[in-house]
Amino acid sequence: MKSLTARLLIWLAIGAVLLAVFALYARPDFLRSLADQIWACF
């Protein structure tokens, strides 16, 4: 039972991180800022 709980918590954490990333990509100002930072590397 402990293994099942740990596995569920890991999957929930992964899902939360993915949702946070998708929420950031939905904001155009974040995408513009990210593109400017990547372009500044070259």
Contact in structure between 31 and 25 (CB atoms under 8 Å): yes
Total domains in the chain come to 1
pLDDT for 38 equals 92
Cα separation, 5 vs 36, whole angstroms: 42
pLDDT for 1 equals 61
Question: What is the identity of the amino acid at 39?
Answer: W
Question: What is the identity of the amino acid at 8?
Answer: L
pLDDT for 10 equals 96
| Domain extent at residue 35 | 2-40
Q: pTM (2 decimals)?
A: 0.61
pLDDT for 42 equals 86
Estimate to the nearest angstrom the gap between the alpha carbon of 29 and the chain centroid: 16
- Strand ranges (E), the chain: none
Location of structure tokens 């513009």: 32
Contact in structure between 11 and 5 (CB atoms under 8 Å): no
What is the full per-residue pLDDT of the chain (42 aa) written as tens digits?
689 999 999 999 999 999 998 898 888 898 899 889 999 998
